[in-house]
Amino acid sequence: MGALRPPMPPIRTILLVLGLAVSAAAQDHQVLGPVLGAPEPDAVRIWMRVPPADGGEFSVLLRSGHGGLQRSAWIRTDPGRDHTAVARIDGLEPDTEYRYRVRLRGFADSDEATEQWHPIRTAPRPSAPARLRLAFGSCANRPGDQPVWDAIRAQTPDLFLSLGDLPYADTREPALLFARYRESRGDPRYLALAREVPTLAIWDDHDFGGNDMDGRVPGKEIALHAFRSYWPNPGSGGAEPNPRPGVWDTFRWGPIEIFLLDDQSFRNVPRKGVDLLGEQQRRWLERELTASNATIKLIASGGAFHDRPVAWRFLGLFPIVRRDTWWSYQDRDWLFGLLARHSITGVVLLAGDLHRHEVHRLDWKGGYPLYELISSPLRQNLRACVASAGSRQWCASKEGFALLDIEDSVTYSYWDSHGRRLHKPTTLHPFP
Ligand SMILES: [Fe+2]
């Protein structure tokens, strides 16, 4: 009898680690971007990664429809933020299209006639009527092989919202975490979308720390630092200093407001505490929701809101219920109670995480039907549409994304990663 072989020969382990290190080192020299961050009525944000070998600086040239040209100062990228930085250009007209391009320090200006200019748009004023075409989704693994970004770009949305697991980082080791972000951000199809469509983001477990982690995980501030370095969100992201200990935020587009929640940073173990959001975020959300005069309010979370979300069925019969969703926490009753008590109208819930797309009409005590639209995954393993809670109205197990057309009402449709529609456009009724 021969000796038992170890499951993985040491040489393979060495090569694997070496391979990761080599690929991380190669990425380290990548210039990435431009990526558009959250626009404001008078300002736009442009994110770049420029390492020192490429000058470590960039500037933005912005051209208005009247031919006026504006040049930003040189912006030095931050070595502490993996050589990234955000340019914020203000003094612009609301709801107006401009064109821009990015220059790197030390590279000569090319001929303006042949240089590619990209469209960039300011947000409408909160008081102005506006329509919004919003694409959203979550869970994108396998960078470099993500056709979904082309399918989203083909729909010409005004905004893309990521609800987490972008990237699947699964580490809080700073160098590896930044390598995962670089790898994800380097997908050429993603970059083609993100240089023309502004992106907002929140996170789920895999970009926060690892599968089904909770807020007790050590090193969560490293995950927050990486998130802020790579996502130019309205207040918490990009290079702007902000003491908020999480990724929650709001974004306004005319009469539409998006409430971006952080359901990772302060969550307790399910069933052992009330906390999904934490006291500071609850106070903030109550203040923002009760003060908002937006006619349509999208509340976005990584985890799902509906009752007893079934992950799968043991032997095809017995439901295995997921515990890492709002259903396991008292913050769910708190949020629905807040909406009902203050008669907060125009709310639609958005979520990701489930690795299948679902539409729910929730059972609640408010005065109008409350819908939850779930979109997942953009590019990741699928879970089957097993029988779920009674609130579910539709389900599809496909890679893809959701598209919302919002004006006075909300119309949703779901699309697969090759641009085929999975669901005919449906308008939410009644919608106060
Ligand atoms: Fe996921």
pLDDT in tens, 156-176: 999 999 999 999 999 989 999
- Which pLDDT belongs to residue 274? 72
The pocket of ion ligand 1, defined by CB under 5 A, consists of 139, 165
CA 398 / ligand 1 centre spacing (Å) = 13
CA 399 / ligand 1 centre spacing (Å) = 12
* Most confident option among 10-19, 104-113, 233-242: 104-113
282-332 pLDDT per residue, tens:
999 999 999 999 999 999 999 999 987 777 777 777 777 777 789 889 999
CA 245 / ligand 1 centre spacing (Å) = 23
- Which pLDDT belongs to residue 271? 64
Running DSSP on this structure, what letter comes out for residue 123? P
For residue 81, the tally of other CB atoms under 10 A from its CB is: 18
CA distance 345 to 301: 18
Torsion 26-28-34-40 (CA) sign: positive
CA distance 51 to 267: 36
Average pLDDT over residues 189-193: 97
CA distance 371 to 432: 13
Q: Would you say the CATH fold of 132-427 matches that of 32-107+117-121? A: no
CA 288 / ligand 1 centre spacing (Å) = 28
Question: Taking all residues of the chain, what is their mean pLDDT, rounded to a whole number?
Answer: 88
- Which pLDDT belongs to residue 13? 45
Percent of the chain topping pLDDT 90: 71
Q: Which CATH number describes the domain made up of 132-427?
A: 3.60.21.70
- Which pLDDT belongs to residue 154? 98
Q: Answer whether residue 391 shows pLDDT above 60.
A: yes
pTM attached to this predicted model = 0.91
- Which pLDDT belongs to residue 390? 84
Q: Which CATH number describes the domain made up of 32-107+117-121?
A: 2.60.40.380
| 372 Cβ neighbours under 8 A, 6+ residues apart | 304, 305, 306, 348, 349, 350, 351, 358, 359, 360, 362, 391
CA 37 / ligand 1 centre spacing (Å) = 23
Q: Answer whether residue 1 shows pLDDT above 50.
A: no
Q: Answer whether residue 3 shows pLDDT above 60.
A: no
User: For 417, phi and psi rounded to 5 degrees?
Assistant: -75, -5
CA 108 / ligand 1 centre spacing (Å) = 43
Report in angstroms the alpha-carbon separations of 221 from 246, 247, 256, 272.
9, 11, 31, 23
CA 377 / ligand 1 centre spacing (Å) = 7
CA dihedral 283, 325, 305, 215 (to 10 degrees): 20
Please state whether 114 falls in left (phi above 0), alpha (psi between -120 and 50) or beta: alpha
CA 397 / ligand 1 centre spacing (Å) = 13
CA 86 / ligand 1 centre spacing (Å) = 27
Pairing state between β 199-201 and 159-162: parallel
Tokens for 339? 């909406």
CA 356 / ligand 1 centre spacing (Å) = 10
Q: Answer whether residue 9 shows pLDDT above 60.
A: no
CA 146 / ligand 1 centre spacing (Å) = 15
pLDDT band at 39 (very low <50, low <70, confident <90, very high): very high
CA 151 / ligand 1 centre spacing (Å) = 20
CA 271 / ligand 1 centre spacing (Å) = 22
**Is residue 259 helix, strand or coil?**
strand
Of 258-272, 275-289, 292-306, 401-415, the least confident: 258-272
Q: Where are the domains of the chain?
A: 32-107+117-121, 132-427
CA 39 / ligand 1 centre spacing (Å) = 27
- Which pLDDT belongs to residue 432? 66
CA 231 / ligand 1 centre spacing (Å) = 18
Q: Answer whether residue 275 shows pLDDT above 50.
A: yes
